[in-house]
Structure 1
Amino acid sequence: MTNKEVGKGKEIPEKKGFRTPGLSSIQTTSLFRAVNPELFIKPNKPVMAFGLLAITLCVGYLGYMHAMKENDQQLYEAIDSEGEKYTRRKTSKWD
């Protein structure tokens, strides 16, 4: 088979004189490849999109929880002069 038959009209560069980009062209140990798979696996766009969506939703949910906690802190427990506890709404000096 020639290069034209393999690629159906697309020519494949010969191995001689060309190097493949990245770390896949160098010799590494299996341990290095197992510990650093992101260097050897080609990117998967649907998985990246899902991960980005998941991280965005998690950060948004944390922001929502923080905002709800801020809104709930309008009441606090106070003690009057007789020593009794009661719930009081926070007031501002401007009110």
Structure 2
Amino acid sequence: MESGEKERPKKEAFREPGLRGARTTSLFRAVNPELFIKPNKPVMAFGLLSITLCVGYLGYLHAVRDNQQPLYEAVDGDGEKQMRRRTSRWD
């Protein structure tokens, strides 16, 4: 062997990086599979799209509901009549 070459490490010295190469119990792997399963990009993209569409739909429903609230006539402390939208007690 020449002086510029380094010895290659043994195959046993290398393990997979991260938790996949760690020594764990079967119970830990069963409870935390997301730590050991390789990421699946198409499934991740589908999930992200689904969550985005659901949140957008909920926002749309909230905006439409605000416009459909019935109006009622309210009287101020000054005695003036005003038209107001009904609001929920939760708001």
TM-score by length of 2: 0.65
Higher relative contact order (CA 8 A, sep 6+): 2
Q: Does the alignment pair 1:21 with 2:17?
A: yes
Deviation at 1:90, TM superposition (A): 2.7
The list of structure 1 runs, each at least 4 consecutive aligned residues, that deviate by more than 4 angstroms after superposition, is none
2:33 partner amino acid: P
1:2-81 pair list within 5 angstroms: 15-76=11-72
Q: Could you tell me the percent identity over the aligned residues?
A: 70
Quote the Cα distance in structure 1 between the aligned partners of 2:19 and 2:71: 59
Work out the number of aligned pairs and report it: 71
Give the gaps of 5 or more residues in structure 2.
1-8, 75-81, 86-91
Give the gaps of 5 or more residues in structure 1.
1-12, 80-87
TM-score by length of 1: 0.62
